[in-house]
Chains A and B, each alone.
Chain A
Amino acid sequence: MGHGAGGRLFAELLDTVIGPIIGADPVAEDAAVVAVDGVGVVVSTDSFVVTPHDFPGGDIGSLAVHGTVNDVAMRGARPVALTLAYIVEEGFPVADLARITASAACAAAGAGVAIVTGDTKVVERGGADGIYINTTGIGELLPGAVVTAAGADPGDAVLVSGPVGRHGAAVMAAREGFAFDLRSDSCALNTMVEDMITAAGRDVHVLRDATRGGIAAVLNELAFASGVGIAIDESAVAVPDQVAAICDVLGIDPFHLACEGTLVAVVAPDAADDVLTAMRARPEGRGAHRIGVVTNTHVGRVTARTALGATRIVDMPLGEQLPRIC
């Protein structure tokens, strides 16, 4: 299966194989809202299989915490508790397990979230690639938050909290041994999200962390889910020089690279400045900026105005490297 990198093939798998069996909503949110005694509880789960386990800017432990904390936060919720489950390959160094656990604990503390339970299973040699981690998070909806992937309206502003592509580029460089000065953006976004909701309440329409498939996948998903078009200005999207450099070498579109501490927000036009101010007040949102606008043309599609003034279609990444030039 070439479905790993998150994109068109993965979306297809979800639509055709997994979704129908569990009766899932075709609009895939990263987290679900469940009513418990009339109170909105947000639940999200994710498994982490990154290679290498350590990369500049983080490791699989901190990543597993940030990923799930962020997924809960992207529904407009305050994450409160996490579970932490390991699948460990026989022979995996105990010291590494301890270090990864310490990193996860530190990340959870930093995000203000408690790790409340966990599990460890050991599988035989070759049954796993060292260590896999699953985290499940629960959170409570923030007062006044109404955030869904389908919430984008024409005219809304599209914001991004920082430069894109840092996590994917850092992991790739570390894995393949390419010498670039790159650092993952992995961090918890829940506090910044609280500040954004405080600043603008229900004027924050959509929040997505631009993880698998990068901002290209996230923008396409929300254009589809909201039944709108999204027009961005390519040069407004900050791409760090070193990310651009490795993308040029590898022939990758930086818009397709995963971020782990960068979110895309769609907000009512009048609230955009307030939300940007709230974001920029936090270190993880210091580079927040406006990248585009929601439109009622090109419905379901993302278009980018290039530096040359042309307009290109920003497609979902295909999930594997698949050139088109004939």
Chain B
Amino acid sequence: MRTAERTAQRIELHGIVQGVGFRPYVYRLARDCGIAGQVYNAGGDVVIEALGSNEDLESFMNRLPRETPPGAVITTMVSTPFDAQVGKRFSIGPSVAARTAAHGLTPDLATCDDCLLELFDPGDRRYRYPFLNCSSCGPRASVVEALPYDRERTTMRRFTLCPDCRGEYENPADRRFHAEPIACPACGPRLSWSGGSEEGAALAAAVRTVAAGGLIAVKGVGGYQLVCDAADEDAIARVRAVKSRPVKALAVMVPDVGGAMAAARLSDAELRLMREAARPIVLAESRGSLPRQLAPGSDRIGLFLPYSPLHHLLLTDLDRPLVVSSANLRGEPMIVDDEIAFKLGPSVDGILAHDRPIAARYDDSVAQVVDGRPRLLRRARGYAPAPIPIPDMVAKPLLAVGAQRKHTCALAVADQAVLGPHNGDLASAQAFASFTGTVDRLSRLCGADPVAVAHDLHPGYLSTQYAEGLKGLDRVGVQHHHAHVVACAAEHGVPAPFVGVAYDGLGYGSDGELWGGEVMVADYTGFERTGRFAMAPMPGGERAAERPARMAMGYLFGPEPGLGKVDLGYARGFLNQMDGQEVALIRRMIERGVHSPRISSAGRLFDAAASLLGLCDDNTFEGEAAMRLEAAARDHGGRALPWQITRRDGLWVLDPAVTLQALLVEARTRPIGQVAARFHAAIVEATATLVMITADRAGTDRVCLGGGVFANRILAEGLMDLLRGQGFEVYLGERVPPGDGGIAYGQVAILAARLARQGAS
């Protein structure tokens, strides 16, 4: 019937194209379009050999990237004419060996719509089965032990497929064809309740306990979680007691999008983000319908949707918002180990567990929409360890060991970086073990033996010490803030040179000083600092980072010599409400330079401002003061407080004295929120000025923002708007977090670029 000329194309697809039901998808699409040929996995890529009329082929290739299964991401699609023999029908061919294995690392995927229908279909054999999944959804990274990704190399290998499941697994036309974690009530994992009752009874017991106001631990996909009714203030208090977290925001899982809209004002972008296959926790503006205790001092709330069948069952049966928060002791990573979880016993009313082991820890990811784009703050379950491209191709695998807190590490293979999941604070022995385990695991999964390692310059980071202990690897130190801005540039493929703005709490400078508010001209191999924040003492070192009131006194009593001073008369109100003895001691420490290292930091300045405004004297979690300052400023406006930039020793220095003094003066008569907003505006204007001076000198109009301070939306959006109005292209991390979770990615991109340049010269 078809008379048109038939041609063949070889189509190579890179990205996340394995472990997401991609080959069955191609198979169905090819049949639908009347295409002959085959599809097969080649390493981590997918290759299609397609034969058909020009018209059919065109339609096939048009639809191919548009109708992909959820979780699939095509980063590149290369098609070349093909003249080898192709069969008459379309088939799924045998896999061929890896070219670069890094492509095959698929993150965990939320339950798909098809599976969800089955989950609640009383006629289905998987009706209410908490572990159902298919080739488009289900656990991946949290169960895989080695590559290639096949059932016998996942923690599902201990469950022998029943004949029904095997039939589905082996049938190319079935949507469970080669779904490695496939399971059913006859052959798969089972629930248990506090070590006892099984399946339905276990779930029912858990539901009953939560409904009665109890607190339970649930073994989720990537670790244990604490779960209770989100409207129950007593239960919330118990979650906080277990975690020793009096204030930090707790995430709330809502049954559905309607539940999310009832709890927060969600933009379209936020809704889309919430519905991504990764199902991140999305920070959004709270409607105040849930207890304030969930996020004290914040105008926002972290919401997410159920992402595993078990979560769907809990949320459906309880039909209300639930606190779903990682189960961990303060400072420790999320619990993944059944034995450790059972130690929670006395503090919870029951543990809903199962017998599918967790191969690797994956916390829930956290994201927010800034400037209309989704931005990850914590990249973990659902995102990690999907590879992210880096600008420079690496000849041999490279390792980057990251920073210290919010720790992640990264491995580069070919033109991709695999950024591992969140490990937490390395000072915890568990987190450190998680870090070294991740290095081993990523190396194994990628089949990569790194030849060089990038690390931070900070000698006290345990990651730096770990790198120093590695034998036989070339070692390269990377400045913290250079890594921050390169992380942003590399993710967006920004051409060098560019202006880097790194606003951070603290990073070890190239000159041995403590930095944290840097403006620079940068490329992928190096940088030149052009601007900084004024130095201020941190009385008591880390104690000052924990207690913003100390930082406030640092700026009041220890301004950088030669720069402006705040008239202490204006600070009388602030100082009078402090303990007099503390003020005297801190002042003496500052004046005598006792344990008061000096730092030029944006983050610490925000802390000081929050404390001077009476918003937060102590950080009970990292970033609390900045969060409260931002929350106070929301919905306020007004012109910027005065600000000043001074030229010193070849650098432009943001001198905060005039701004802080104006802040104290204004706060006497004006609403605190308005003063907070005007403080933000001052930092935005001053920063834009530093950027303009720097850009002019470097001859670029590209600006990359990095550092944890840019989690602050008012600052980030204000700066982006202002700079764009001046004709700049401004970038901020999306898949790579702006904070220290993105450091390892920046480090590995810098190491790759330096090696590429060495190789070229």
Contacts and interface: CB of A to CB of B under 8 A. Distances in A.
B507 interface: yes
A311 B430 contact: yes
Interface string B452-484: 000000111110010000000000000010000
B436 to A, nearest CB: 11
Contacts of B507: 326
Contact of B595 (A9, A303, A321): A321
Nearest to B429: A311
Chain A facing B: main interface SS: loop
Interface string A40-83: 00000000000000000000000000000000000000000000
Interface centre among B586, B597, B708 (most CB of A within 10 A): B597
Contacts of A321: 541, 595-597
Interface string B572-586: 000000000010011
A321 B585 CA distance: 18
Contact of B597 (A177, A303, A312, A322): A322
A323 B429 contact: no
Interface stretch (A162-170, A246-254, A258-266): A246-254
A283 interface: no
Contact of B589 (A248, A250, A309, A320): A250
Contacts of A176: 588-589, 592, 594
A250 B594 contact: yes
A77 to B, nearest CB: 34
Given A176-B588, A250-B595, A251-B595, A326 B542 contact: no
A178 B585 contact: yes
A252 B595 CA distance: 8
Contact of A324 (B330, B430, B506, B586): B506
Interface stretch (B314-322, B522-530, B543-551): B543-551
Contacts of B392: none
A313 B506 contact: no
B595 to A, nearest CB: 5
A325 interface: yes
B515 to A, nearest CB: 11
Contacts of A172: 594
A248 B543 contact: yes
B505 A325 contact: yes
B432 to A, nearest CB: 6
Nearest to B601: A326
Interface in B202-256: 244
B405 A325 contact: yes
A322 B598 CA distance: 10
Interface string B419-434: 0000000111110100
Nearest to B462: A313
A8 interface: yes
A220 B241 CA distance: 33
B742 to A, nearest CB: 12
A318 interface: yes
Given A321-B595, A326-B506, A251 B543 contact: yes
A310 B330 contact: yes
Report which residue of B330, B430, B540 has the largest number of chain A beta carbons within 10 angstroms of its beta carbon.
Answer: B540
Interface in A199-256: 248-252
A4 to B, nearest CB: 14
A323 B588 contact: no
A249 B462 contact: no
Interface in A270-326: 298, 301, 303, 306, 308-313, 315, 318, 320-326
A134 to B, nearest CB: 28
B329 interface: yes
B24 interface: no
B260 to A, nearest CB: 31
B331 A312 contact: yes
A298 B436 CA distance: 12
Contacts of A326: 403-406, 480, 504-507, 603, 622, 708, 739-740
B539 interface: yes
Interface in B730-761: 739-740
A162 to B, nearest CB: 25
Nearest to B508: A322
B538 interface: yes
A310 B543 contact: no
Contacts of B514: 322-323
B348 to A, nearest CB: 14
Nearest to B433: A298
B506 A310 contact: no
B544 A251 contact: yes
A325 B622 contact: yes
Given A323-B597, A324-B461, A310 B539 contact: no
B404 A310 contact: no
Nearest to A302: B429
Residue among A248, A252, A313 facing the most chain B CB atoms (10 A cut-off): A313
A315 B432 contact: no
B332 interface: yes
Nearest to A2: B512
B458 to A, nearest CB: 7
Given A308-B244, A312-B427, A324 B405 contact: yes
Contact of B540 (A249, A306, A308, A315): A249
A310 B428 contact: yes
B427 A313 contact: yes
Contacts of B740: 326
Nearest to A8: B459
Interface in B606-644: 622
What are the 6 A-B residue pairs with the smallest beta carbon separation, nearest first?
A251-B540, A251-B543, A325-B545, A311-B429, A323-B541, A323-B542
30 contacts: A9-B459, A176-B594, A177-B588, A178-B588, A251-B539, A251-B542, A251-B544, A252-B595, A298-B429, A310-B329, A310-B331, A310-B332, A310-B428, A311-B332, A311-B428, A312-B331, A313-B426, A313-B428, A315-B462, A318-B459, A321-B541, A321-B595, A324-B405, A324-B461, A325-B505, A325-B545, A325-B546, A326-B480, A326-B507, A326-B708
Interface of B: 244, 329-332, 403-406, 426-430, 432, 458-462, 465, 480, 504-507, 514, 538-546, 582, 585-586, 588-589, 592, 594-597, 599, 603, 622, 708, 739-740
